[in-house]
Amino acid sequence: MKVLVIGGGGREHALIWKIRQSPLVKQIFCAPGNAGIAQQAECVAIAADDVDKLLDFARQQQIDLTVVGPELPLTLGIVDRFREAGLTIFGAGQKAALIEGSKSFSKDLMAKYGVPTAAYGTFTDAAQAIAFIRRQGAPIVVKADGLAAGKGVIIPRNEEEAVAAVEDILCGGAFGDAGSRVVIEEFLEGEEASFLAFTDGRLILPLASSQDHKAVYDGDSGPNTGGMGAYSPAPVVTPDIHDKILEQVLKPTIAGMAAEGRPYSSILYAGVMIRDGEIKVLEFNARFGDPETQPLLARLKSDIVPVLLACARGDLSGIELEWHDKAAVCVVMAAGGYPGTYRKGIPIEGLDAAAMLEDLMVFHAGTDEKDGRVVTAGGRVLGVTGLGTTVADAIDKAYRGVAKIHWPEVHFRRDIGQKALNR
């Protein structure tokens, strides 16, 4: 088979690393890829959201399976376009991807189908939004409705900051069209977990549990990022919580999407807040998580290609997932300054030394090749992923890898996985 993976981050590197192990696969392309992916696949210089060019490429190359990593091409309808052209593609269709593309849509869906989530209001009018904030008081959360590259959620420190956020978004155009509407919701406390499941719209095949670390600094301080590290399994997801997520979240959501004429056949990511044995959904994503995919796929024993094909074809019957009895921890090495401004083009030292270590995978996120050297090219640069017999062992493996790699201004958290140890 010929496979095309769309995207160029750590998630896509992990997908390619895993897809490559399948005996079904002969050739892998990635658009646009990165310097690490280029060692395992043929990179094609087409942007992940250039649907026309991607479709031309897939037709010309007679790609047997296309796998979509990021959300933007999904919301642009890449899956529908490929299917109309008779191509097999893994990803949520445009109507299904609205579950991530519009927070007001996903909140209304949850309200309609009884999925537990924070109380909320949806507004296009700033005066009404501000009146709502005044009534509710802080702490409160302000979210731009549409896709905002992971930056659309604001957790203000007080009422005045909440009001300012609403003014920025609704009046100041801080997020463009994505901010023509805001969702304002109750602030939830607890411990977060990521719960991903493959589905064909009817059957649900959960992946192992995982946990992301969103804040940029140790101890969950500083602004939120796309994710500074992740581990799997996440002990906060006890068997009881696992069942609750399946029964209270995934089943009604997938049935609800079908009832709304938005059948969902792909991977669904539920970000949940867990407190005192109860769960509430923070968000849905219509794709694999980044960096959760890195530790998840490091632990997956089954060939992933038959699973992706089954979702793409809309029938998961007979498919099962087997996991290695190991834990995995991914530490993101980022550019200093991220999630704000940062430099690019800095040579990375020590990748060869890290490649010698056992039970370690260095997934590239924002990297590029310049004059034969791997250089930084993004905010999240590498996802150094260790496998171990326990989370503690996997932490040790991952940080041994991190210790080998260096560039000026590198930043990483030193406490990835600690929450699992505290339990």
Residues at the site binding ligand GLY, with contacts judged by CB under 6 A: 212, 226-227, 285, 289-290, 292
Q: Does residue 191 interact with ligand AMP by CB under 6 A?
A: no
Residue 415 contact partner, candidates ligand AMP, ligand GLY, none, CB within 5 to 8 A by sort of partner: none
Choice between 103 and 364, CB closer to ligand AMP? 103
Task: Report the run of H or E that residue 58 belongs to, with start and end.
Answer: helix 51-61
Quick one: which of 14, 19, 35, 118 contacts ligand AMP (CB under 6 A)?
118
User: 3-state DSSP call for residue 280?
Assistant: strand
**Taking the complex as a whole, how short is the minimal distance between the CB of residue 251 and ligand AMP, in angstroms?**
21
Site string for ligand AMP, 283-322 (x = CB under 6 A): x---------------------------------------
Cα–Cα distance list, 311 to 18, 245, 254 (Å): 17, 21, 14
Q: What angle do CA 329, 332, 334 make, to 5 degrees?
A: 170
Q: Is residue 141 involved in binding ligand AMP (CB under 6 A)?
A: yes
Closest-CA residue to 19 (of 316, 288, 213, 405) = 288
From the list ligand AMP, ligand GLY, none, pick the one residue 292 interacts with, judged by a Cβ distance below 5 to 8 Å according to partner type: ligand GLY
When CB distances are held under 5 to 8 angstroms depending on the partner's kind, the choice from ligand GLY, ligand AMP, none that residue 101 binds is none
User: Cβ neighbours of residue 247 under 8 Å, at least 6 residues apart?
Assistant: none
Most distant CA atoms of the chain, gap in Å: 60
Least distance in angstroms from the C-beta of 268 to ligand AMP: 14
Write the CA distances from 220 to 172, 308, 331, 413, integer angstroms: 29, 34, 14, 9
Cβ–Cβ under 8 Å, residues 194 and 211: yes
186 versus 303: smaller Cβ distance to ligand AMP: 186
Q: Which does 349 bind (CB under 5 to 8 A by kind): ligand AMP, ligand GLY, none?
A: none
Is residue 351 within 8 A of residue 405, CB to CB? The reply is yes
Q: What are the C-alpha distances in Å from 100 to residues 61, 147, 181, 251, 414?
A: 30, 8, 15, 17, 30
Q: Minimum Å distance from CB 214 to ligand GLY? A: 7
Q: Does 262 bind ligand AMP (CB under 6 A)?
A: no
153: contact with ligand AMP by CB under 6 A: yes
In the list ligand AMP, ligand GLY, none, the entry touching 153 (Cβ below 5 to 8 angstroms by class) is ligand AMP
Q: Which two tokens stand for residue 226?
A: 């796309």
The residue nearest ligand AMP at its CB is 283
Between 374 and 385, CB nearer to ligand GLY:
385
Figure out which of the listed residues 39, 224, 238, 418 binds ligand AMP, where binding follows CB under 6 A: 224
**38 near 68, Cβ under 8 Å?**
no
Where does this chain bind ligand AMP (CB under 6 A)? Answer: 118, 141, 153, 155, 185-188, 192, 214, 224, 271, 282-283
